[in-house]
Amino acid sequence: MQSNAALEYDYSVAKLFTYTTILFGFLGMLLGTLIAAQMAFPELNYMLGEYGTFSRLRPVHTNTVIFGFTLSGVFATFYYVGQRVLKVSMAESKFLMFVGKLHFWLYFVGALVATVSLLLGYSQSKEYAQYEWPIDIVIVLIWVAWGTSLFGLIGIRREKSLYISMWYYIATFLGIAMLYLFNNMSVPTYFATEGLGNFMHSVSMYSGTNDALVQWWYGHNAVAFGFTVPIVAMIYYFLPKESGQAIYSYKLSLLSFWGLMFVYLWAGSHHLLYSTVPDWMQTMGSVFSIILILPSWGSAINMLLTMKGEWNQLTENPLIKFMVLASTFYMLSTLEGPIQAIKSVNAIAHFTDWIPGHVHDGVLGWVVFMIMAALFHMAPRMFKREIYSKSLMEKQFWLQTTAVVLYFTSMWIAGITQGMMWRAVDEYGNLMYSFIDTVAVLHPYYAIRALSGVLYLTGFLMFAYNMIKTMTVSRELTQEPQFKSPMA
Amino acid sequence: MDIRELQGYANFFMTIFLVIMLYGYIIHLYRSEKKGESDYEKFGNIALDDEIDSKPIVPNPKTMNENEEQNK
């Protein structure tokens, strides 16, 4: 392989997405903290006129952390892991390099325009699918660019077998493509009425219950293929690589993959329990949600067993600590979700703060921890410098872990309190509490959540500082580390 | 039988079918490894040995041939 003697992996696109991961992570979490504070202290709603209200900012928060932070992390790790497990460099194909950069710039400009559109109040009013139709078209183009990179890289690979992480990246691509297209089918009213109304406005192609079903099929699986599948792709690569231990059972990883693909897509109707969708479909949503524990725990246990006999690394290497905690939170939230999907539990949990509590132990504990660990692992290899500060990383770990615990415990208590108060009746069958009674009771828990947001955001700033210092002033490395990431 | 009921039955039988497929896959994986036809665990090393000049676990004949031709 003489011609490959000087060939190196090319991380230029991975670096670009690393920058946006940090940027969108900061912005999304800042907004999250602000709107959490608005729930506790409503006067904070009136700082910026219509642009600063909870209702305007909440979609900006969710879309920035999902499509800004998480997707940037997914793309950054893909452009890193993809090359390495396929043993092919982006530098080998001018076309792929062009597509990779086009992918980034389309994404970056698209993200800015999309965020402005939400701030201006353009919304399809579908949760996690708020972007109006012109933005959806740009998102499709971005996705096609990613698909071209993904399959283009696979097309020129030296390693014939696709490593399990690649399976998960492919599933992310196909899953989101299918979900996004179907849920965003809409009729732009401006064209349908020959020029009446706002150009941006559209109505869904589905109506009533069907619309709700498609929406929650999408909504739940956006979590599946945005927050689970690509993050599993990351942990299957980064934990073995950082620890120097091959996956405990490759066969189990394959089984978990097909199990997850088979089960996840059917669980979405648990968002519509006690609604007008057919009863069998509600039951199916509950049953499939419970079965979902198996493939989820299959991956998580596989990761914990990968550390078998090597648990000393947990005390020596903070990066391992981040990933093991991520895996543990994955187990927690994939147990909690199915419990909430049981019909009788859902009768209490539905519409309460337990739901955002559940979402956040998953995203803060699992998704963000794993993405940060992945970027920390990539940094010394991409920038050829050691990680700036190990002690800062340790402090960040404990600060953010405390924040996650404060978040979900406060929301568990708030949610169950709410659920019980809404259902409480006196001896004559009259409701015992009015809505505002619950709001008054929940105030301290909302304040704790806002505090946890401040702590988590501070931890994220420590991560950003550590990363920027690593990129710019940290000690230079002469050789690429094989397993454990070097840190000062 | 209305469409909703049909959908329910279709879902039930498809679930049974997919369960059989999944269990069949599990049996296939373990049996082919036991017979010595394939070794799935070696693929775990793809992540550990991932330098660009590392020897692929299963070389891709298509790109390998191209490389060999380039080196002639």
Q: A9 and B52 in contact by Cβ < 8 A?
A: yes
What pLDDT does residue A2 have?
45
The pTM assigned to this predicted structure is: 0.95
* Contact flag A161-B43 (C-beta cutoff 8 Å): yes
pLDDT interval class at B69 (50, 70, 90): low
- pLDDT score at B68: 53
Question: In residues, how long is chain A?
Answer: 488
User: What is the reported pLDDT for A275?
Assistant: 92
Q: Tell which CATH classification among 1.20.210.10, 1.10.357.10, 3.40.50.300, 2.70.150.10 matches the domain A7-472.
A: 1.20.210.10
**For B20-65, what is each residue's pLDDT tens digit?**
998 999 999 999 999 998 899 999 999 999 999 999 999 998 876 6
Q: Which of B43, B54, B60 has its CB closest to that of A157?
A: B60
Q: Does the structure show a pLDDT above 60 at B72?
A: no
Of the candidates A115, A62, A67, the one whose C-alpha atom is nearest the C-alpha of residue A356 is A62
CA torsion sign, A323 to A325 to A327 to A329?
negative
Write down the domain spans for chain B.
3-71
Q: What pLDDT was estimated at residue A1? A: 43
pLDDT of residue B2: 87
CB A287 within 8 A of CB A272: no
Q: Are A213 and A269 in contact (CB under 8 A)?
A: yes
Q: Are A38 and A45 in contact (CB under 8 A)?
A: yes
pLDDT tens-digit series, residues A206-231: 999 999 999 999 999 988 999 999 99
> A4, B53: Cβ pair inside 8 Å?
yes
- Cβ contact (<8 Å) for B56 and A160? yes
Dihedral (C-alpha) A387, A393, A397, A398: value to the nearest 10 degrees? 170
Query: Do the Cβ atoms of A382 and A474 come closer than 8 Å?
Result: no
Structure tokens at A388: 């700036």
Residues of chain A contacting residue B45, judged by C-beta atoms under 8 Å apart: 246
Query: Do A255 and B26 count as a contact with CB atoms less than 8 A apart?
Result: yes
Q: Which of A341, A315, A405 is nearest to A369 (CA)?
A: A405
* Residues in chain B within 8 Å Cβ distance of A84: 47, 50
State residue A278's pLDDT score. 87
Q: Tell me what pLDDT residue A5 has.
A: 56
pLDDT for position B62: 84
Q: B29 to chain A: which residues are within 8 Å by CB?
A: 251, 254-255
Q: Is B14 on the interface with A (CB under 8 A)?
A: no
Residues of chain A with pLDDT under 50: 1-2
Number of CB pairs, chain A paired with chain B, less than 8 A apart: 107
pLDDT tier at B15 (50, 70, 90 boundaries)?
Answer: confident
Contact B47 A237 (CB under 8 A): yes
Name residues whose C-beta falls within 8 Å of residue A487's C-beta, 6 or more positions apart in sequence: A318, A386, A387, A388, A389, A390, A393
What is the C-alpha separation between A280 and A399, in angstroms, rounded? 44
Q: Residue A197's pLDDT is what? A: 87
> How many other C-beta atoms can be found within 10 angstroms of the C-beta atom of residue A120?
12
Confidence bin at B3 (pLDDT 50/70/90): confident
**Taking CA atoms, what residue in B is nearest to A156?**
B63
